[in-house]
Amino acid sequence: MSALIHPPLPPGRTPSITDVAARAGVSIQTVSRVLNSAPKVAAGTRQRVLEAITELGYRRNPAARALATGRGGLVGVLTSSSALYGPASITAALGLAATEAGVHLAVEHVVDFDVESVRHGLSRLVDQYAAAVVLVAPVREAYEALAGAHPLVPVPVLAVSSGGVGAVEVSVDQRAGARLAVQHLLDLGHETVWHVRGPQGWYEADQREEGWREVLQAAGREVPPVLEGAWSADSGYRAGELLARVPEVTAVFAANDSSALGLVRALAERGRSVPDDVSVVGFDDVPESAHFLPPLTTVRQEFSELGRAALQQVLRMVDRGSAADDDGGESVAGSVQLQPELVVRRSSTAPRR
């Protein structure tokens, strides 16, 4: 039988424990056992792993024993390289919670959420001997990629705001937040509420749209066409240019505070006063929202609480030994969902009669 020919690693990339496992045809846990001279590894398997280590030139991290015990005192975070307020705030909150708990945090940024990029990011965190990984990327693409990469990860993975697709998740109830915003506008007397949604592929945008639609349908109100948008003030401004031409628009729920900011300006420039002519509600309660003109009614997400809950949950997963093992064991930790809060300011009022 001819020997298998393995493709070389990409230039400039150092070999990881994942590469060793793939080369030897074994699990990462088996490589870890060989590295730590653990018993119950067949002689032939041990030999294949050692040969793969030699062929690849793999060099151990001095903290290798932490991986074998599953408690390295380090939590990995895999997130987007974007500076969007939500993911950036969650990552910052995780960092603060980790400092308070005396846990080290390693953050790995991913530009594109394809399978190879996610797998490489996870591998880098595993190579730093993270006891667990928190995935902060509330986009459908990231979780589709994770589904292909997760079998290679020997530590528990906690999802933050994954729209319910993560096996274990910590999130804020986005539907409930949208329902608060829309019900507030209906209670003020508006006949219906228009919606400028977030970008396609984002779970939070989908859930906020669903919550908006649920309230209108339950109240028997007209459901206006959705205006496609992004998380930016520019997209809100473009939506405002369109909505300013529709006289019957009296209330708008914007997918986030940035898009609400652009929306308010576009309406004002076209002679539609906020809130006298059009009431506007945002989402997130960014620090600047209280200083918008007018101050913005919005839905608050407590990112500091979300970060603490995520860290507590992932450490609980480690304590319970929830990392997948060779027998296919799964996490026994449950998901956590936090509730948002409506913050009423001056951008929303009763419609003119």
Query: Which residues in 58-96 are b (16+ Cβ under 10 Å) and which e?
Result: beeeeeeebbbebbbebbbbbbbeeeebbbebbbebbbe
Residue 163: its pLDDT value, please?
63
Residue pair 77/94 in contact by the 8 Å Cβ criterion: yes
Bridge partners for 253 per DSSP: 195, 281
Residue pair 326/27 in contact by the 8 Å Cβ criterion: yes
Distance (Å, rounded) from C-alpha 118 to C-alpha 115? 5
Residue 67: its pLDDT value, please?
38
- Smallest CA-to-CA distance from 280 within 230, 307, 244, 319 is with 244
φ/ψ of residue 336, rounded to 5: -130, 130
Distance (Å, rounded) from C-alpha 64 to C-alpha 75? 15
Residue pair 101/125 in contact by the 8 Å Cβ criterion: no
Give me the torsion for CA of 128, 130, 134, 135, rounded to 10°. Answer: 30
Structural element, H or E, at residue 262? helix 257-269
Got the DSSP string for 175-236?
A: HHHHHHHHHHHHHTT-S--EEE---TTBHHHHHHHHHHHHHHHHTT---PPPBP--SSHHHH
**In the block, residue with structure tokens 């400028």:** 196
Instruction: Give me the tens of pLDDT residue by residue for the chain, a chain 353 residues long.
Output: 334 455 666 665 667 777 888 889 888 778 877 876 666 788 889 889 888 888 888 765 443 444 344 445 788 998 887 778 888 888 999 998 888 888 889 999 888 777 778 878 888 888 787 888 898 887 888 777 777 665 555 677 788 876 666 667 899 999 999 999 999 999 999 999 999 999 998 999 999 999 999 999 999 999 999 999 999 999 999 999 999 999 999 999 999 999 999 999 999 999 999 999 999 999 999 999 999 999 999 999 998 899 889 988 888 887 765 333 333 334 345 788 999 999 999 999 999 87
Residue 70: its pLDDT value, please?
44
Ramachandran bin of 292, using left for φ above 0, alpha for ψ from -120 to 50, beta for the remaining angles:
beta
Residue pair 62/235 in contact by the 8 Å Cβ criterion: no
Burial of 318 (0-12, 13-18, 19+ CB in 10 A): buried
Please, what is the end-to-end C-alpha distance for the chain in angstroms?
86
Distance (Å, rounded) from C-alpha 115 to C-alpha 112? 9
Q: Which amino acid would we find at residue 62?
A: P
Helices 28-35 and 43-56: crossing angle, nearest 10°?
90
Q: 81: helix, coil or strand?
A: coil
Q: CB-based contacts of 218: which residues, under 8 Å, 6+ apart? A: none
Distance (Å, rounded) from C-alpha 282 to C-alpha 84? 16
**In the block, residue with structure tokens 């493709």:** 7
